[in-house]
Amino acid sequence: MNQPYSLATAHYDSLIKELFPGEPLPKDSYEAAIEEFVGKCKCGGQFRFKASPRCPRCRSTDFEEDPKGSALFYD
């Protein structure tokens, strides 16, 4: 995504660009740093950027995308 997806992130994107003295991290390095920072779940599992979307109730990965938007329909 090349642009902020909400007004809140637009504000923070501008603020970070203004205050952060370094170069932006490559996507893979950024995601690895966030995964390391977040750590493990209480159950011992890991949070991953590349994890498949899952139904929060049954954990199913069987879904279809809404052709009219960005919604997911779970089984």
Confirm whether 59 is domain-assigned: yes
Residues in the chain: 75
Confirm whether 8 is domain-assigned: no
State the pLDDT at residue 71: 60
Confirm whether 67 is domain-assigned: yes
pTM of the model: 0.48
Helices (H), the chain: 7-19, 27-38
pLDDT in tens, 2-20: 554 455 667 777 888 888 8
State the pLDDT at residue 68: 74
Domain total of the chain = 1
Q: What is the average pLDDT across 23-33? A: 87
Average pLDDT, the chain: 76
Residue 70's domain comprises 25-74
Confirm whether 16 is domain-assigned: no
State the pLDDT at residue 22: 83
